[in-house]
Amino acid sequence: MFGIRLNPQSHFAEHEGEKMGATVADAEGEKTISGLNHDLGEVHNSIFPLELSLGIALTLAGLLVWPFLIIGLALTVHAIFSWVKEDIALWTFRPTLSTGEWGHASWAMIWIIVTETIVFASFFAFWFWAKWHTINWENAVGGSWPASGVSHDMTLVTFNTVILLASGFTGHKALHSLKEGNVKQSKTLLRTTILLGLSFLGIQLYEYTHAGFLWGDHAYGTAFFALTGLHGFHVLVGIICFVVAHQLISHGYFTKERHDSFQAITWYWHFVDAVWILLYLIVYVEVI
């Protein structure tokens, strides 16, 4: 209720002839405003970013006082859903991008990937720090790296790696199918991507339950569950984004001409794939 809903016809009727820089854009009648401080259709004074910040803060506080966790998660989910819904409602007021042009979502995803790269780099740094100290300290818990008694099912892990990489291929093809106007094929490939992503998480959960060690048993356990768990969380976020993308395609919001946010989601998924390859080589294969 705090987001502005711009009615293009009444807006242009009210400001026509004024020094607001109002213009009618393309031959299809799509309307833009070039002289305003904000793009036509941009959300102003929305309460949902504040609600999201509060939800995240309460979720973190819930790690210490568990009732806050329930409230925080509820606020976070509601804020994300409402904020996305608010933004989607304004898409039709925004100009269509030229072929190959990056929109706000694509540029935003570039920065998200940069920040997430830093996050993962810190977790990998912890991995190497814990490994060095475990090997070089006398009487270190675990005694070796990997810790004594730890054994990974490499056949299962490799199979899971193939599944995740395959999901990257189907997600990429889903985007290009939509760009070519093949909505049906795009939705089919998206469903396949979601299924592969869920399969990856299911196998990872199976691996956790049969690992034979916990995160508190030794430094290796802490580093292993922290790094693979962080990646698994990013996979879950990507799956949710693909589910939303499927719904937006079904309702005609993502089209051959308007798919910038879908492109951003696909980039995110490729980033998740790339991180897993590093994780597979460093954690499981131990190339370093």
Q: What is the mean pLDDT of residues 59-69?
A: 86
Amino acid at 25: A
- 191 vs 123: CA distance, rounded Å: 31
Residue 139: its pLDDT value, please? 64
Q: CATH class for domain 8-93?
A: mainly alpha
Of 116, 155, 154, the residue nearest 272 (C-alpha): 116
- The CA distance from 254 to 261, in Å, is 8
Task: Evaluate if residue 284 carries a pLDDT over 60.
Answer: yes
CA geometry: angle 232, 235, 241, nearest 5 deg: 150
C-alpha pair distances (Å), 215 with each of 35, 154, 226, 237, 241? 56, 20, 8, 23, 29
CA pair distance 160, 238, nearest whole angstrom: 16
pLDDT reported for residue 246: 95
d(CA 170, CA 200): 14
- 94-147 pLDDT per residue, tens: 666 666 666 678 888 999 999 999 999 999 999 999 888 888 776 655 567 887
Taking alpha carbons only, the member of 235, 241, 237 closest to residue 200 is 235
Whether the model clears a pTM of 0.85, i.e. scores above it, the answer is no
CA of 35: how far to CAs of 15, 21, 32, 42, 164, in Å?
11, 4, 9, 14, 46
Sequence spans of domains, the chain: 8-93, 104-285
For residue 247, pLDDT over 60 is answered with yes
Does residue 8 surpass a pLDDT of 70?
Answer: no
- The token pair at 9 is 């016809």
266 closest CA partner among 188, 181, 167, 191: 167
d(CA 267, CA 171): 9
Residue 260: the pLDDT is 85
Rounded Cα distance between 105 and 265, Å, is 9
Percent of residues in the chain assigned helix, strand, coil, to nearest 5: 65, 0, 30
Q: Which residues of 165-193 are buried (b: 16+ CB within 10 A; e: fewer)?
A: ebbbebbbbbbebbbeeebeebbbbbebb
For position 238, what pLDDT does the model report? 94
Average pLDDT of the residues in 271-278:
97
- pLDDT at 99 (0 to 100): 63
- What pLDDT shows up at residue 103? 65
**Which pLDDT does position 95 carry in this prediction?**
67
Confidence of residue 200 (pLDDT cuts 50, 70, 90): very high
pLDDT at 23 over 50: no
pLDDT at position 29: 38
Fold classification of 104-285 is Four Helix Bundle (Hemerythrin (Met), subunit A) (1.20.120)
pLDDT at 94: 66
Do the beta carbons of residue 214 and residue 118 sit within 8 Å? no
